[in-house]
């Protein structure tokens, strides 16, 4: 199959960027979107041109690095799928595909399709830890946890921190990411001692870094490759209200 690509090119954050058009021929429908980009970059290198800079690592839908907005949708048209697992059979022969980086003030562009997502790491560092003693892990059955709670914690922990939720939100909100990282520890007894401190620290760090507020558009949930839902935002809001009330009562 043949596809035409309109790809955002930008030397660095301060430089002026623009879309450039490329054509890639003889693409296998079974190749991934990133493999198609590999073919394009090989063509560009053979022509003595600068290859397109884009993020990737595991290519197994785990690391969250493959951050591209494809035809206006973070990670592309297939639900619950990262770019590295998006196959070219989702497109038609002769299609024109527009590819650009995440667009959010808290994600400064570094080059071409790469943005800095350090802000998400800073939110995680603010409270994403527990004070349990280090050493050999406890037996899985040593602390009884109801299955419903364990399932919810696991669902929240599925977040890979890709930032698609931020890129899709009209307000560039990081509420879905932050609520997943807060909730997967807050649900579990191991995270109980820091629950209030964690919730306040991570929410306030998120606000400090310039992310917008949630307005319940639901775009974040729609593009999340791991199916994180708005339920976790509701839980984080409750936890934050309880934590602030406890802080005020001291």
Residues 6+ apart with CB under 8 A from 133: none
Cβ burial, residue 51 (10 Å; 0-12/13-18/19+) = middle
CATH 3.40.50.300 fits 117-249, yes or no: no
pLDDT for the residue 6? 98
pLDDT for the residue 154? 96
The length of the chain in residues reads 250
pLDDT for the residue 130? 87
CATH number, span 3-110: 3.10.20.30
The DSSP annotation for 152-183 comes to: HHHHHHT-----HHHHHSTT-B-HHHHHHHHH
Count other Cβ atoms within 10 Å, centred on residue 95: 14
pLDDT for the residue 60? 93
Residue in the block written with tokens 């890979």: 160
Residue in the block written with tokens 């955002």: 8
Contact 172, 235 (CB under 8 A): no
Q: What pTM, to 2 d.p., does this model score? A: 0.93
Strand 114-115, strand 69-70: pairing = unpaired
pLDDT in tens, the chain (250 residues): 999 999 999 999 889 999 999 999 999 999 999 999 999 999 999 999 999 999 999 999 999 999 999 999 999 999 999 999 999 999 999 999 999 999 999 999 999 999 999 999 999 999 999 887 777 767 767 888 999 999 999 999 999 999 999 999 999 999 999 999 999 999 999 899 999 999 999 999 999 999 999 999 999 999 999 999 999 999 999 999 999 999 999 8
Enumerate the domain spans of the chain.
Answer: 3-110, 117-249
pLDDT for the residue 137? 67
């Amino acid at each position: 199959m043949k596809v035409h690509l309109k790809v955002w090119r930008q030397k660095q954050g301060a430089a002026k960027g623009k879309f450039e058009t490329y054509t890639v021929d003889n693409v296998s429908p079974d190749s991934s979107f990133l493999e198609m980009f590999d073919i394009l970059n090989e063509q560009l290198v053979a022509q003595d041109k600068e290859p397109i800079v884009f993020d990737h690592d595991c290519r197994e839908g785990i690391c969250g690095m493959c951050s591209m907005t494809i035809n206006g949708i973070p990670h592309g048209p297939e639900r619950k799928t990262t770019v590295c697992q998006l196959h070219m059979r989702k497109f038609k022969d002769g299609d024109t595909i527009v590819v650009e980086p995440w667009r959010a003030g808290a994600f400064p562009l570094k080059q071409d399709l790469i943005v800095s997502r350090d802000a998400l790491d800073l939110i995680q560092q603010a409270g994403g830890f527990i004070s349990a003693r280090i050493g050999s892990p406890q037996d899985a059955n040593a602390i009884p946890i109801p299955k419903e709670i364990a399932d919810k914690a696991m669902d929240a922990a599925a977040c890979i921190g890709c930032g698609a939720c931020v890129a899709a939100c009209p307000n560039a909100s990081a509420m879905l990411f932050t609520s997943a990282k807060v909730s997967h520890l807050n649900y579990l007894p191991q995270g109980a001692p820091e629950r209030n401190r964690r919730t306040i620290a991570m929410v306030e760090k998120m606000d400090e870094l310039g992310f917008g507020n949630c307005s319940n558009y639901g775009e974040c949930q729609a593009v999340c490759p791991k199916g994180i839902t708005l339920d976790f935002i509701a839980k984080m809001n409750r936890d934050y209200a309880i934590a602030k009330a406890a802080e005020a009562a001291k």
